[in-house]
Amino acid sequence: MIDIAETKEVLTFAVSLAVAVDKAIEDGFQWTDVFSLIPPLMKLPEAIEGAELVPTEIEDLDENERAELVAEIERLDFKSEYSEKITEQGLRAGMEIGKLIVLLREAKKI
């Protein structure tokens, strides 16, 4: 079984950023809303660092790890029937980010 640390980081970043963007546009985007984007964006370097491992981690995901990821999302105040759906969408986004990073790194080698 593979550790899911990288998946957690990418998932937390993706969902945190989505929450900040949603909050910023809730009442019409204003330049001061940029400040609400800073905390999630501070997590970007950490999320990107190992993002290429996310697809492998997700492929090896078991029920306990899945529950752990849902709990991580619920720590972001999504204690509702949407927690699991948000986690699933965040995992899809995280996996695609990981694939994109791998592709970009491969392209640089050419």
pLDDT digits (tens, 9 = 90+) for 17-59: 888 888 888 888 888 888 888 998 888 888 888 888 888 888 8
Token pair listed for 43: 């997590």
pLDDT for 29 = 82
Q: How many residues does the chain have?
A: 110
> Does the pLDDT of residue 110 top 60, yes or no?
yes
Helix (H) or strand (E) holding 22: helix 5-25
Domain ranges of the chain: 5-109
pLDDT digits (tens, 9 = 90+) for 52-93: 888 888 888 899 998 988 888 888 766 667 777 888 888 888
pLDDT for 79 = 60
pLDDT for 40 = 86
Token pair listed for 84: 């699991």
pLDDT for 76 = 75
